[in-house]
A and B are shown apart, each in its own frame.
Chain A
Amino acid sequence: DSGVTQTPKHLITATGQRVTLRCSPRSGDLSVYWYQQSLDQGLQFLIQYYNGEERAKGNILERFSAQQFPDLHSELNLSSLELGDSALYFCASSPWGNEKLFFGSGTQLSVL
Chain B
Amino acid sequence: ILNVEQSPQSLHVQEGDSTNFTCSFPSSNFYALHWYRWETAKSPEALFVMTLNGDEKKKGRISATLNTKEGYSYLYIKGSQPEDSATYLCAFPHSGGGADGLTFGKGTHLIIQP
Contact = CB atoms under 8 A, between A and B. Distances in A.
Interface string A36-53: 000001110101101000
Interface residues of A, number: 26
Contact of A42 (B34, B100, B106): B106
A77 interface: no
Interface stretch (B10-18, B21-29, B41-49): B41-49
A112 interface: no
Provide the main secondary structure of the chain B interface.
loop
Interface stretch (B63-71, B77-85, B90-98): B90-98
Contacts, number: 63
A97 B103 contact: no
A18 interface: no
B31 interface: yes
B94 A45 contact: yes
Contacts of A97: 98-100
Interface of A: 2, 31, 33, 35, 41-43, 45, 47-48, 50, 55-56, 58, 90, 96-106
